[in-house]
Structure 1
Amino acid sequence: MDIIQVVGFSLPMFSALVCCVLMIMYRRGSSDTTQRRLAAIMILTYVSAVICWFGIIVYVADYDWFVWINTLFFFALILDQVLLYNFLYNITGTGKREKFHKLHYVIPVLLAVSMGVWSLLVPYEVQYYIVETRGEPAPGYLWYSRFFSSTVPIFIIYNIIYPLLGLFRVKAYHREVVNYSADEQRASAGWLYRLIFLVWLTLPVASGVLFVHKSVFFSSTLTVLGAFLPIFQYLIICYNLMSGNYVIIQPTETEESEGDGNAKARKIDRKKFETYIREKKPYLNSKLKITDMCVELGTNRSYLSSFINSEYGMNFSGYINRQRLDELDRIRVAPENRNAAGIDLVLCAGFSSYRSYIRVKARDDASQTIVF
């Protein structure tokens, strides 16, 4: 391999390895069950990524070694997107009690076992020939040759289907989280959308192997440059997970009941609600969730969300952040805050960060413009 290929295919491997170590340290230092579960999934994802990139380097550099690790490489390559989807699945729950279907893992295992068993029945020289010729069918072993070389097509299929499933999950999550959390920054699904986009962005490069010979494909500068895209994926996940930049919608017991007692418990008077908001100022809690208010108001999530929507024409997040903007306007004109820094006032008003405030303010200004 030339130096460009060495660097191009090694950097993603080492970046995944570094992220894996950071995730191990993060998991050890966390006592939260959800955080530890998410970290465990990502540790496996990073390990899978390391194996994938190591396999590509070996495929280019050493035919003999690749014959021996092909089954492991094949398994890691198709498992990578399943693990990533499992991670998204756990973050983007909408409050319903649901489990990740085991079939997602069963299929990669069956494919890998099939590859391993079949390879044990095929002479080593045949497998070496397929690698050396970059996918040319070995005489007398047409179907095995096709299966041996099916790694890239299967990889492309998985990189289309699983990000698409993830996109559906993220969109459903985004619709629900605005009625659950008022933390604009942590509840934003922007980085999840960017993650899916980056996965799809690798497809044009990976698809190139279907149209040009593998010897040309793996020596292409475009292929090497495309190998840098996954680095951003690894860093985005690692940063956002370690910084806690997400909100898990916790599942609750079934709240909807037709009993008269529950109906009375859920009823909220607008005047009393506004008195509660004015006096208790729950919006000053930057991590406020709708369930926090439900406890104090003696109601449930579904009713409170519906009440805010019908009475004020906005979702929970929009209503709470509107209160924060009003609070910011009040404390800005207070004499004692005349020399206070803007960021301090923003935090005092209940925003989790200045960036969160900017997002809310921009959206509020846009809505005001539309109304005007």
Structure 2
Amino acid sequence: MDYPQLLFITSPLFFFILPLVYVFQNRLNVKSKYWFMHFVFPILMLILFIPTILMNDNDKLSMYHADGINDPIWLVLLYLLFSIYYSIKTFIANKEHKALLLNTSANNDIELQLFSNKLIFLASVCIIIIPISLLIQYLDFNTKVVDKFLFIIFSLIPHFIVISISNIKTFENSNEIRIEERQTSVVEHENLDTIKSELTGFMMKCKPYLRQDLNLQTLANLVSWNRSKLSMVINKGFGKNFYDYVNEYRLEAVVEKLNSGKHKDYSLDYIVSECGFKSYVSFYRIFKRVKKKSPKDYLRHLKSQ
């Protein structure tokens, strides 16, 4: 080890990474109030580790090369409890963020946001694996394999976080959106079937889904509803999130054009864009999910008829 002064830094850093991931996830959920409180305990742990960090280089190296785990069992158990607590809180916040995204926008910039959401989830999974692996070492004296595994996992976490940060965008008024479980019913005194028919009629007649920049607020303005009512009707009435609801209209518009033979005169990319999809990747995924075949197979089927 050429830099013994860097040894044992990872232990206090572990207690900072967990709250950092959670605070970052809450930042995406527009819930950053009192974020600094999550770093009180990590700072206390850092103070506790100062004597070890300030040890002379020879003592650090001897501890580093010693067989087994240098951390006492109570510290490893503290790692585990701490990681379980923050990982569970991050998983819950992550689920809320995904619902927030899917009920906010149907333009395809949301794909990157969902990708970031998954990366944060993976970071949380990797973090909780670390103390579990440490506990395994207490039961298995062959620590070399586990040590390498821990190193790989720990090195992946910053990459997940950095990539997710680079893909994040803030949706306007996103703090006004609440996931379905937290919505209060704004249609309880109205006939849900009537409201659904009204929305369906508007979608069929005005075709707002052809706009690539369509989001929940825009559609609510167009149909002259508030967006809590629109979100409730889509979630409760149709059993879908806003993203799927709008993209399924776009998909049917594409299928209609393909069935009419428009693909013989225009490229599929052009047709997909004309029907409101901003990216072919989003169209392809929803096409495979709904039609159970690829667009290429569907076109081949049309040609054979």
TM-score (norm 1): 0.58
| Deviation, structure 1 residue 212 | 6.0
Return the alpha-carbon distance in structure 1 between the equivalents of residues 177 and 288 of structure 2.
36
| Percentage of matched positions with identical amino acids | 16
User: Structure 2 matches for 1:114-263, cutoff 5 A?
Assistant: 114-116=48-50, 119=51, 129=59, 132-133=62-63, 152-183=76-107, 185-186=111-112, 188=114, 189-211=117-139, 217=143, 220-244=144-168, 250-252=174-176
Return the alpha-carbon distance in structure 1 between the equivalents of residues 83 and 213 of structure 2.
34
1:108 is matched with which residue: 31, 42, 53? 42
| Deviation, structure 1 residue 202 | 4.0
Q: Return closer, same or farther for 1:62/1:174 CA change in 2, 3 Å cut-off.
A: closer
| Deviation, structure 1 residue 271 | 5.8
2:33 is matched with which residue: 65, 76, 99? 99
Q: Return closer, same or farther for 1:187/1:80 CA change in 2, 3 Å cut-off.
A: closer
- Determine if contact 1:181/1:187 at 8 Å carries over to the other structure: no
- Determine if contact 1:199/1:230 at 8 Å carries over to the other structure: yes
Return the alpha-carbon distance in structure 2 between the equivalents of residues 250 and 166 of structure 1.
19
- Determine the structure 1 residue equivalent to 2:26: 89
Amino acid at match of 2:219: M
Which string of whole-angstrom CA distances, capped at 9 and with x for unpartnered residues, describes residues 167-199 of structure 1? 111223334433222246245344443333333
| Deviation, structure 1 residue 79 | 0.6
1:332 is matched with which residue: 258, 263, 266? 258
Q: Return closer, same or farther for 1:221/1:61 CA change in 2, 3 Å cut-off.
A: farther
| Deviation, structure 1 residue 360 | 1.9
- Determine the structure 2 residue equivalent to 1:304: 230
Aligned residues: 276
Return the alpha-carbon distance in structure 2 between the equivalents of residues 221 and 256 of structure 1.
52
Secondary structure class of the residue paired with 1:351: coil
Could you list the runs of 5+ residues in structure 1 that have no partner in the other structure? 1-59, 137-144, 367-372
Amino acid at match of 2:36: K
Q: Return closer, same or farther for 1:132/1:180 CA change in 2, 3 Å cut-off.
A: same
Amino acid at match of 2:27: N
- Determine the structure 2 residue equivalent to 1:139: none
Q: Return closer, same or farther for 1:212/1:91 CA change in 2, 3 Å cut-off.
A: same
Which string of whole-angstrom CA distances, capped at 9 and with x for unpartnered residues, describes residues 282-302 of structure 1? 323344321122233332222
Q: Which stretch has the larger CA shift, 329-338 or 249-258? A: 249-258
- Determine if contact 1:286/1:350 at 8 Å carries over to the other structure: yes
Could you list the runs of 5+ residues in structure 2 that have no partner in the other structure? 293-305
| Deviation, structure 1 residue 356 | 1.7
Amino acid at match of 1:110: L
- Determine if contact 2:185/2:232 at 8 Å carries over to the other structure: no
1:292 correspondence with 2:218: yes
Return the alpha-carbon distance in structure 2 between the equivalents of residues 146 and 273 of structure 1.
61
- Determine if contact 1:179/1:290 at 8 Å carries over to the other structure: yes
User: Structure 2 matches for 1:313-352, cutoff 5 A?
Assistant: 313-333=239-259, 337-352=263-278
- Determine if contact 1:91/1:248 at 8 Å carries over to the other structure: no
User: Structure 2 matches for 1:273-288, cutoff 5 A?
Assistant: 273-288=199-214
Q: Which stretch has the larger CA shift, 301-310 or 152-161? A: 152-161
Q: Cα RMSD over matched residues?
A: 4.2
